Amino acid sequence: MRKIIILSLFFILLSPIYSLTNWSQFSLRYFMTDAQNDIEIVTGASQDADKINTEGKFGLQYEHELSGKISDKISFSITDDIFFSEKSHERRNSFLTNDLKFGVLYKHETTYLKLKLNNRYFNSGETKYLILPGIAQNTQKQMVNSAVLHFRQNIGKFNFSFYSSLRDLEYKYIVLEDDVTTFRDDDDELETSNASDYDSYTNAKLSYQITNHLTVFSRLYYKDDLNQSSVYDMKSLGGGFQYDNNIDLFSSFKAEVQYYNNISEIINDEQDHNMVTQIRYSKRFGNGVSGFVSYINRSCYDEETSKVYRVSNMLRVHAMYSYSLGNLNNSYILAGIKLNPENHGTLGFIEQNQHLYKGFYSTANIKYSLDLFTSYSLKMEYFMSNLQSIWIKDEFIDYYGIHKQNLIFIGSTIIF
C-alpha cells in the first residue's frame, strides 16, 4: 500500500497542479508520570520493561499535509504523521509509528467521488502485544493498510450514497508451546510468526426527499471478515426518516429516527432490532453567542420477551462566546457537557482562547470525566504571520486509580 501511495504521489507531481497548499507542524515532547513499573501499561511489554521508570522521556511528532487541485473538478491531499517517543508509561499502543494517507476527490454538480489509501506502520520493538477481536493469539501490529471508496449522487429528489472499505492488518504473534504458561516478548526463547487479517465494510443508503424538510431513507450495511471463519460477519438492514429545517439565519432544527435489524452470530438476540432517535437544535445570537443541544437515544427490542431495552442515552450541550474579532484569530470561551451514563462517557469541558498582545495568544482547556480522567492544558502561541507560529503547551492528565502524567510540547506550525 505504501508503494501505491508513493507512485500516486509521483503521478500527481507530474500532473499540472494549482492552488497548492503545504501545512507542516513539528513538536518536541517531554513526558513525566508518577506511575510505577507496571508492565500492564508499558508499551512493548518486553523483556526490558522493568527498565522503564518514572524519569522524564523525550519524543517528537511531525505532521505534514499537501493539498491542491489538478482541475476544477479534481483535488487531492497527502498527509503524513510520524511519531516517536522513548518508551514510557504514556497510554499508547506504540511509540514509533508512521501514518501516511492519500486521497483524490472528484466533485462536479451533484456527483461526489472520493478514493482514499491509508498506510499505518508500527515499529516492532516499540509496539505492544494486544488481544484483538477475531484473532486468537496475542498480536503485535506491524502495518495496517486500507482502501476507502465514497460515492454520492443526487438525481432529482433521490440521493444515493455508497461507502466501501477494505482493511489489511499485518501482524506478528507468538507461537506458544504447551508448557508455556507465561507471556513474554523474547524472540530468542519464543517462536513468532507473521500473519494477515482482512475485513471489508460496505454501507449503502438511498433517500428520497418528500418535502423541503422531510426525507425518507433505506440503508444496508455489511461487514465481511474475509477469513475462513465467518463468525464476525454482519449484516444490517434498516431505514427511517430525517427532518432538517433551517428556521432562519440564526437557528436550525434536525431530527432523525432510524430502525435497523442486525444479522450476526456474535450479537445477542435482544439486540437484533434497534431504534436510534437523534435530535439537534442549533442557535446563533447576534452578540457573538452560539450553541447547540443534541440528544441521542439507542434502544433495542427483544422479540421473545416483547420488551424494549435502553442501550444508551447521550445528551450534549455546547455554548460558545466569541469576542475580540478584529485580531488575527478570534478570542472565545467554549463550554460543553456530555451526559452518557450507560457508556461511562459523561464529560464536561471548558476552553478559552485569548488574544494577549499583538501576535500572542493563550488557550486554556479543562476536561472532567466522571469515571475516567481529569485533564488540564495551557498553550501559549505566537503568530509571526497568519501562516507561521511557534507554541508551547503543557497538558496534565489524572487517570483515576491508575496514574497521573504530564506532557510538555514545544512546536511550530507553518503553512505555505
Give the pLDDT score at 326: 76
Taking the chain (416 residues) in runs of 10, the rounded mean pLDDT of each run is 62 67 95 67 43 75 94 94 88 91 96 97 86 73 96 97 96 70 51 86 98 97 82 91 94 97 81 92 92 96 78 94 83 96 90 94 96 96 94 96 92 92
Distance CA(136)–CA(128), nearest Å, equals 16
Give the pLDDT score at 3: 62
Give the pLDDT score at 87: 79
Give the pLDDT score at 348: 98
Give the pLDDT score at 45: 41
